[in-house]
Amino acid sequence: MRLTARFHTISKMLDFYSQFNPSPLSIKKFIDFGLNASEEKSFIFLRKELPVRLANIMKEIALLPENLLRMPSVIAVNDWYMRSFQEILEFEKKDPTPGTMEHFCNELVKIRNRHSDVVETMAQGVLELKESHDVDCHTEHSIQYFLDRFYMSRISIRMLINQHINLFSALIFGGQLENAPGPNRSKYIGCIDTQCDVVSVIKDAYENARFLCDQYYLASPDLIINQGQHNDLQKEEYINIVYVPSHLYHMLFELFKNSMRAVMEYHNSSNEFPPITVAVSKGKEDICLKMSDLGGGIRRSTTDHLFKYMYSTAPQPSKSDAHTVPLAGYGYGLPISRLYARYFHGDLVLLSCEGYGTDTVIYMKALSNEANELLPIFNKTTSKFYRTTVQTGDWSNQAANIGDRQISINTKKHQLPQSAQEALTRAL
C-alpha cells in the first residue's frame, strides 16, 4: 500500500515536471555562468532543470513498446532514472546552506556514476527484445527515434552535472583551474576549453585510433592535416574553438577508427596504405573538419543504415577479446558521434563514393552564443509518433522506403562485452 502511494507521488511529480520544456543553454551561457554565477545559483537552477530534463525523457520511456519495457535491461535503466529523479527532488524545498549544497554535489556524483552504463544497458535491452521477439518496422522506427532522443538527453544531463561538479565540488575546488589537463589550465571553464586547439585534438584522436589499428592490422595509414580560414578572419596559427574537447575527441576518434578500418581492408593486398586527410577550416559561421579516406567507400544502398544503432558491417568482436577495445563492431560510432555534433547545433554528414572513398564532415558553430543545446522535448506530437503506424508505401519502388528495413545484419546473439561497455562508458 505504501509502495503504491509512493508510486502515485512519483508519477504526479513526473507529470508536473514534464509540463516544463527544458531550457537549452548555449556554450556562451555555460561560460558566463561558470565565470560569474555562485554555487547557490547553480544549485537552484539544477534542482529544477535536472528533474525537468529527466521527466521529459522518462515520459518517452513510458511510451516505448510494451515488449521492450519488459526487457530486464530496460527495467534496470528505468529504475536508475526513477531513483535519480527522486533523489534530486529531495532538494526541491531545501535552503541552499553550504551543507545542503555539498550534499547536492555528492548526490550528483552518485547519479553520474549510477548512469555511467546507461548507453550499453539500453543497447542490451534492444538486443534482448530482438532475440526474444519479432520486431516489426514500426517498432524498429520507434526505437531509433527514441534512442536518438534518449542518448541526446543523456549527453545534456551529463553536461549539466559535469559543469556543476567541476566548478563547485569541494574535492576540486576552483574547478576551472585545477581540473583542466595540459599547460593552460586557466582556459578551461568546467569541461569547456575556451581555446580548444582543434589540430591537437585531431592528432590525439588519430594517435589513439592508430594504436588500435596497428594492433589489428600491424600497420596504419598516415595522417595529413590541411588548414584553411575565411579571409576576413584574423589569421591564427592554430584554429581555436570554444568547445568541449572530450566531445570533439569522441567524434574524431570514431571517424578515424572507421576510416582506418576501411583503408586497411580495401588495400589489404598491397603494402601501401593511402593517408587519411583532415581539412580544418574556420568560417564566419562554422568550423568544419572534413575527414577523407580512400577506403573504397560505401554502397549507396547501405548509406541509409549507417546512422542506425546496431548497424555494423564489422564482425562481432569476440568475447575472449573482452579486455581490449575493438576497432569496430557495435554500430554506435556514427549515430552517437552525430548526436555530439548536433548537441551544440553542429552536424555530422557522410558522403561516400563506392569504389573510391568516404568524406565525413563535422560542423561546429564558430560562435559560442550560437552553439545552443539541442534538446528533446516531450509533448503531444512526440506521443503521436510512438502510436502511429508506419505509412504504406507511396512510391512505385518499395525500396524507396529503405529507412524501414531491418536495422542490423549483425545483432543476433550480440552481447556487448566488457571492452565495448568500457569504450561506450568513457564516451559519454
Which residues here bind ligand ATP, judged by CB under 6 A? 254, 258-259, 262, 293, 295, 298, 306, 311-314, 326, 328-334, 358
Smallest gap, in angstroms, from Cβ of residue 381 to Mg ion? Answer: 32
Q: Nearest approach, Cβ of 312 to Mg ion (angstroms)?
A: 7
Query: Who contacts 414 (Cβ-Cβ below 8 Å, separation ≥6)?
Result: 127, 310, 316, 408
Residue 303's CB is within 10 A of a number of other CB atoms, namely 16
- Say whether residue 352 binds Mg ion (CB under 5 A): no
Site string for Mg ion, 115-134 (x = CB under 5 A): --------------------
Binding to Mg ion in span 182-221, by CB under 5 A: none
Minimum CB separation from Mg ion for residue 303, in Å? 15
Catalytic residue among 120, 128, 254, 373: 254
User: By C-beta, is 193 or 254 nearer to ligand ATP?
Assistant: 254
**Cell triple for 412:** 543476433
Indicate the residue among 66 and 272 with the shorter CB distance to ligand ATP: 272
Q: Which residues contact 95 (CB under 8 A, 6 or more apart)?
A: none
- Number of residues interacting with Mg ion: please give it, by CB under 5 A: 3
Which partner from the list ligand ATP, Mg ion, none does 298 bind, CB cut-off 5 to 8 Å by kind?
ligand ATP
Query: 50 or 328: whose CB is closer to Mg ion?
Result: 328
Q: Please, which residue, 111 or 251, has the CB nearer to ligand ATP? A: 251
Exactly one of 179, 258, 282, 365 is catalytic; which is it? 258
Q: How far is the CB of 421 from ligand ATP (least distance, A)?
A: 12
- Cβ neighbours of residue 120 closer than 8 Å, sequence gap 6 or more: 416, 420, 421, 424, 425
258 touches Mg ion (CB under 5 A): yes
Is the four-CA dihedral 411, 415, 417, 422 of positive or negative sign? Answer: positive
Considering only 191, 248, 289, 328, the residue that binds Mg ion (CB under 5 A) is 328
Instruction: Please pick, among 257, 305, 365, 414, the residue that the annotation labels catalytic.
Output: 257
**One-letter amino acid identity for 359?**
D
258 is an active site residue = yes
Please enumerate in sequence order all residues whose Cβ is within 8 A of that of 306, keeping only pairs 6 or more positions apart, or say none.
298, 334, 350
CB within 8 Å of 76: residues ≥ 6 apart? 121
Minimum gap (Å) between residue 197 Cβ and ligand ATP: 25
Closest approach, Cβ 139 to Mg ion, in A, equals 25
Closest CB to Mg ion among 314 and 322? 314
Q: Which does 313 bind (CB under 5 to 8 A by kind): Mg ion, ligand ATP, none?
A: ligand ATP
Residue 245 binding target from ligand ATP, Mg ion, none, CB below 5 to 8 Å by type: none
Nearer to ligand ATP, 120 or 128 (CB): 120
Cα distances (Å, whole numbers) of residue 195 to 38, 244, 263, 348, 370: 23, 10, 32, 22, 17
Residue nearest to ligand ATP (CB): 333
Residue selected from 34, 51, 333, 335 as contacting Mg ion according to rule CB under 5 A: 333
Amino acid type, 63? L
Selection from Mg ion, ligand ATP, none that 198 binds (CB < 5 to 8 A by kind) is none
Q: How far apart are CA 28 and CA 32, in angstroms?
A: 6
Does residue 335 belong to the site contacting Mg ion (CB under 5 A)? no
Contact partner, 34, from Mg ion, ligand ATP, none, Cβ < 5-8 Å per class: none
**Continuous segment of H or E residues that includes residue 193:** strand 192-197
Q: Is 208 a catalytic residue?
A: no
Nearer of residues 123 and 328 to Mg ion, judged by Cβ: 328
**Rounded Cα–Cα distance for residues 183 and 96 (Å):** 35
Long-range CB contact pairs, 378-386, < 8 A, 24+: 378/18, 378/55, 378/56, 378/57, 378/59, 378/60, 382/60, 382/63, 383/63, 385/142, 385/145, 386/60, 386/63, 386/64, 386/142, 386/145, 386/146
Closer of 89 and 118 to ligand ATP (Cβ): 118
The helix-helix angle for 39-61 and 137-168 (nearest 10°) equals 170
- Look-up: residue for cell 579486455? 323
CB of 327 to Mg ion, least distance (A): 8
Q: How far apart, in Å, are the Cα atoms of 28 and each of 364, 371, 373?
A: 14, 8, 11
Range in contact with Mg ion (rule: CB under 5 A) among 88-96, 174-182, 329-337, 399-407? 329-337
Please enumerate in sequence order all residues whose Cβ is within 8 A of that of 118, keeping only pairs 6 or more positions apart, or say none. Answer: 77, 80, 154, 428
Q: Which residues are catalytic?
A: 250, 254, 257-258
Point out which residues bind Mg ion (CB under 5 A): 258, 328, 333
